[in-house]
Amino acid sequence: MAPSSKSNLFFIDFLRCIAAIAVVAIHVLGPWREQFGIVDENQWLAAVSYNGLLRWAVPVFFMISGALLITHQITAQSPFDCHHYIKRRVVKVLLPFVIWSLIYAMIGGMDTTGWHWEQTRTLLSQANNHPTWYHLWFFYSFIPMYFVIPLLAPVLRQMAEQRIKFLLYAWFALTLLHWLEVDTVLRQPLLLYSGYLVLGWYLINRNNRDDLPLWFWAGGAMLVFNLVGTWQLSHEHGRYAIFFMGYKSFNTAIIAAMVFVLAQAYADMIAGKLRQGISLVARYSFGIYLIHPLFLIPIRNIEAGYYTWFASNWLAIPLLTLIVVLLSLLSSMMLAKLPLLQKLVP
């Protein structure tokens, strides 16, 4: 399997950009998901529809990491250096996670009466298992992948393509078991998320154009299942149904693969200012992910009325998303220019 050339990796920037925007949108719409039967159904339907269309975002981030880092490990001319890898890769992600966990723990200690150390201390005492802010859960699954990659790379290097395909088929089967909640010891986050690493590496190092129709129809069918299934199950159970929304489920894996190969095939058609803008957002996508919840603190309070500025959630969610992305991008760019703070937004 021949690796893609660096000159042909704009689609990775495109994926980073749209995945970052999609994650922000998921968090913008978040408060509305549990409002089934409480608010006007059209407002709720807008939120869960956008949610169902965008669940591929987090898996795509895992796929990008696998695509780039496994490929780098396999093609590197020099032998693996443990200390260099930990300093260059692991610490680069671990340090911002720790610092932002402290920052959000401080923020979590605030309420309308001021700041309370007891609330912050509670968040910090639980941080070994629970993030101090909702979006930081990602790092509890993402950081372990940096320890998996150096172990996966030499194994994949020695495997024939047919065996790699078999490995991916087995992993897709595992995501199906997870989706159907089949009781098996293999339903572990480490295994399920590691599969995205392998899938991203496999797809970036092959020509997927012949398979585009298959991915398109399979991914499209899963998106329809997400939308129709969530509406149906929510009405049957009288509450918001999350069955179709898992990040580690078969339907989401298929959609994420579809998004990846479509971007790989067509992203290079984008040119000019739009291409430059996409690359800019991609460059600061990590910072956008870390910072954006700060701007959502007032917005996510439905009673504050920010959503009503746009009359309908069909408009409010995408427009508020773009506003928050822009504010987060500008904040990341400013932090990146300050020597003492630039490591917060690597």
Q: 115 phi and psi, to 5 degrees?
A: -100, 140
- When the pLDDT of each residue in the chain is averaged and rounded to a whole number, the result is 94
Percent residues over pLDDT 90 in the chain: 91
Q: Determine the pLDDT at residue 278.
A: 97
Side-chain half-sphere CA neighbours of 220 within 13 A: 7
Please tell me which residue, 6 or 267, carries the higher pLDDT value: 267
In tens, the pLDDT along 155-185 reads 999 999 999 999 999 999 999 999 999 999 9
pLDDT band at 343 (very low <50, low <70, confident <90, very high): confident
- pLDDT of 2 above 70: no
Four-CA torsion 179, 133, 24, 338, nearest 10 degrees: -140
Alpha-carbon separation of residue 293 from 6, 12, 123 (angstroms): 33, 24, 17
- pLDDT of 1 above 80: no
What is the distance between the terminal CA atoms of the chain, rounded to a whole angstrom? 31
| Residue 267 CA, distance from chain mean position | 19
In tens, the pLDDT along 24-81 reads 999 999 999 999 999 999 999 999 999 999 999 999 999 999 999 999 999 988 899 9
Four-CA torsion 248, 254, 257, 262, nearest 10 degrees: -140
Task: Look up residue 339 and give its two tokens.
Answer: 């020597």
Q: Three-state SS string across the chain, please? A: CCCCCHHHCHHHHHHHHHHHHHHHHHHHHHHHHCCCCCCCHHHHHHHHHHHHHCCCHHHHHHHHHHHHHHHHHHHCCCCCCHHHHHHHHHHHHHHHHHHHHHHHHHHHCEECCEECHHHHHHHHHCCCCCCCCHHHHHHHHHHHHHHHHHHHHHHHHHCCHHHHHHHHHHHHHHHHHHHCCCCCCCCCHHHHHHHHHHHHHHHHCCCCHHHHHHHHHHHHHHHHHHHHHHHHHHHHHCCCCCCCCCCCCHHHHHHHHHHHHHHHHHHHHCCHHHHHHHHHHHHCHHHHHHHHHHHHHHHCCHHHCCHHHHCCHHHHHHHHHHHHHHHHHHHHHHHHCCCCCHHHCC
| Beta carbons within 10 angstroms of residue 131's beta carbon | 19
- Overall average pLDDT of the 205-228 stretch: 96
- pLDDT of 326 above 70: yes
- pLDDT of 5 above 70: no
- Overall average pLDDT of the 233-242 stretch: 95
Cβ atoms 80, 214 nearer than 8 A: no
- Overall average pLDDT of the 83-110 stretch: 94
